Structure 1
Amino acid sequence: MADFIGETGVVNELTIIKTLPQGLVFAIPVAVIATLAILLFRGWLIRRSARAKNTMASAYSALSAEDDIELLSKRVEAALAADDQTALADLYLALARAHQRNGDEDARMSALRSAAGCAALHGPEATHAAVRMELAEAAYVSGDLSSACEQWHLARGAFLASGQTEEHARVEKRMRENGCPTDWVLTDF
């Protein structure tokens, strides 16, 4: 600091101006490398988190439809009684898939709507995305493109939040192909 103090005891501005570029030559590359390291680490965490989010719904897929429905209904009741909000979305999704295998479309849709509500509030995001995709496909098949677009929009956000970037891109492409409104149209009110 003594180099910067002139005869009057005040920092010499000319000296600071001359030495500042020398310091920036080292500071800028260090800042760029630090930023890249942080971004790489964050990406690794997101990918790791997405791989770790295995849903319970896939674990129930090996059961028969009748056994599945009875078992899953009991597990839903137990989770509700225990106020286990984190398990409910996966259980409702598994129940919906069991109803689908059994051919009960009304019960399936009811379970899917319950799964969507639970997953939106309590997670996991991967389940939320899967549920929204099933709701979107059901709406699309029934000819309700508005509801399908809405569900795809919600699924796309959940895929992104869960780190599933490929699925996010796939849903985005599907939305464009079907003429769904873009984000700015949906949020520009």
Structure 2
Amino acid sequence: MLGSDVSPRALIADLKVADQQEVEIARAFSYDPVVFIMDEPTSALSFDEIRHLFDLVRSLRDKGMAIVYISHKLDEVFEITDRVTVIRDGVIVSTDKTSEIDVGALMERMTGRKISAEVVREEAVKKAEENILELQNLEAKGFFSDINLTIAKKEIVGVAGLLGAGKTELGKALFGALPKTIPVTGKYIFNGKEV
């Protein structure tokens, strides 16, 4: 039913995350579910793996499966869903046909306040005045390159990537903890001054 090319003899631990998900979906199908719930299914997938997953989800829908797709990624919500339900603080705020709502309205329902270009612009200007750290064109050959990042006061910035993407090395570079054999180029600006 899934059209998978995963070998039934393969060990799960040896499969890519996307293939593991496919096996999990196939396993769930062995129970003849009426509704299939997918909670943040793309969090560890590459772009191509996401495309494959979406093709699979559409195929399941076309075969009559009801699917609940849970995600905070709005681009995915708009691409893959027919209807969207917003939950805020544990309460359902709205349910709309995806084709009848835009990103701004959806964000307003999610946050409980109007999000306009003016508000975003004002917040960006305010943050620019409060920047603590700015990285410009940071590079450590073989680990990461062209890193441009701004961090403001009272802001939590997440850095995400697959294993081996350079996250750890970037963290070490921020604190000067990379070995001296790995040169780092680019600019560090701390409290408005280049260091």
User: Do these two structures clear the TM 0.5 threshold for a shared fold by scoring above it?
Assistant: no
Relative contact order, higher structure (CA 8 A, sep 6+): 1
Bigger share in helix: 1
Bigger share in strand: 2
